[in-house]
């Protein structure tokens, strides 16, 4: 790693997290968080700047995998991270079902992965974030603004993530905290969601991961006098049933 600013991105092995890592790579050293060490290594070996329109590959990343079970992260996992400029929470799970169909273990797992893991990792990294007067970005969802049928446990987790972001922003005024609310994004996770809905996976109608990454890049590179607190971004193709 160099003396450049440092960013840690969770869920970085694929999809939105990997796209965010590529977008940040031209300017940041990276820790790529996730469970699949092999997939993280593949992202780390890939080109930087792939999310920048018209630039193509801009050289190799300065990145290393940070394989960890986010629901069991400890102080030992963050040892050695003394300064952190950007922390992006992109990891998440989604299990659909009506209230009547969704047992407690689904609610617990969804809240544990989507909320508690992000809260605990942030808590452990607060000293490093304070040193850098850093930036925390939480990839939320349209479900964090409106709860629809069969999305109860997922929406509840995203509403909770929004509450966490709002509280953190007020408790740590020297940090910047941004909640990003994308619509449907063309990822493997979305493919699984559409299968649960019994509907076709139509990536051309969704946001690309790179489009979400550009939004995140805009927030973290905003001028020092600007604190981008919330961003909502929807596919230009319009609502998807």
Q: Contact 82/2 with Cβ under 8 angstroms?
A: no
Is 200 inside any structural domain? yes
> pLDDT of 1-44, one tens digit each?
468 999 999 999 999 999 999 999 999 999 999 999 999 999 99
> Which residues lie closer than 8 Å to 136 by C-beta, 6 or more apart?
86, 87, 89, 122, 129, 165, 168, 175, 176, 177, 178
Is 163 inside any structural domain? yes
The ranges of the chain with pLDDT < 50 are 1, 51-57
**pLDDT at residue 33, rounded to an integer:** 98
Catalytic annotation present for 154:
yes
**Cα–Cα distance measured from residue 94 to residue 181, given in angstroms and rounded to the nearest whole number:** 15
**Cα–Cα distance measured from residue 58 to residue 19, given in angstroms and rounded to the nearest whole number:** 14
Instruction: Tell how far CA 39 is from the center of its chain.
Output: 17
**pLDDT at residue 49, rounded to an integer:** 74
* Count, residues in the chain: 241
Is 212 inside any structural domain? yes
Neighbours of 193 (CB within 10 A): 18
**pLDDT at residue 56, rounded to an integer:** 43
Is 128 inside any structural domain? yes
The CATH number of whichever domain residue 116 belongs to comes to 3.40.50.720
**pLDDT at residue 178, rounded to an integer:** 98
DSSP per residue, 134-174: -EEEEE--GGGT---TTBHHHHHHHHHHHHHHHHHHHH-TT
First to last CA, the chain: 45
Of 6, 20, 29, nearest in space to 49 by CA: 20
Is 241 inside any structural domain? no
Is 55 inside any structural domain? yes
Of 147, 169, 187, nearest in space to 19 by CA: 187
Is 121 inside any structural domain? yes
**pLDDT at residue 122, rounded to an integer:** 98
DSSP β-bridge partners for residue 91? none
Q: Among residues 154, 181, 201, 206, which one is catalytic? A: 154
Is 240 inside any structural domain? no
- Domain range enclosing 207: 6-233
What predicted TM-score, i.e. pTM, was given to this entire model?
0.94
> Which residues lie closer than 8 Å to 109 by C-beta, 6 or more apart?
93, 95
Q: Contact 178/135 with Cβ under 8 angstroms?
A: yes
Please count the structural domains in the chain: 1
Q: What are phi and psi of 2, to 5 degrees?
A: -100, -170
**pLDDT at residue 241, rounded to an integer:** 55
**pLDDT at residue 47, rounded to an integer:** 86
Number of helices (H) and strands (E) in the chain: give both, helices first: 8, 7
Of 176, 200, 197, nearest in space to 186 by CA: 200
**pLDDT at residue 58, rounded to an integer:** 53
């Amino acid at each position: 790693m160099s003396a450049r600013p440092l960013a840690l991105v969770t869920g970085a092995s694929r999809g939105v997290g990997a796209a965010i890592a590529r977008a940040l790579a031209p300017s940041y050293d990276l820790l790529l968080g996730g469970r699949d060490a092999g997939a993280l290594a593949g992202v780390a070996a890939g080109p930087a700047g792939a999310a920048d329109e018209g630039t193509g590959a801009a050289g190799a990343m300065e990145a290393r995998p940070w394989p960890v079970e986010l629901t069991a992260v400890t102080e030992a996992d963050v040892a050695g991270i003394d300064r952190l400029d950007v922390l992006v929470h992109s990891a998440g799970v989604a299990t659909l079902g009506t209230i009547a169909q969704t047992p407690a273990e689904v609610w617990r797992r969804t809240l544990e992965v989507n909320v508690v893991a992000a809260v605990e990792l942030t808590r452990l990294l607060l000293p490093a974030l304070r040193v850098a007067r850093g930036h925390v970005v939480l990839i939320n969802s349209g479900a964090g603004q409106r709860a629809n049928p069969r999305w109860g446990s997922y929406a509840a987790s995203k509403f909770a993530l929004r509450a966490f972001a709002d509280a953190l922003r007020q408790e740590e005024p020297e940090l910047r905290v941004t909640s990003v609310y994308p619509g449907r994004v063309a990822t493997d996770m979305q493919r699984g969601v559409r299968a649960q809905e019994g509907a076709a996976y139509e990536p051309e109608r969704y946001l690309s991961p790179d489009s979400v990454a550009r939004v995140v890049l805009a927030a973290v590179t905003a001028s020092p006098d600007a604190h981008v607190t919330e961003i909502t971004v929807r596919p230009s193709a319009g609502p998807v049933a």
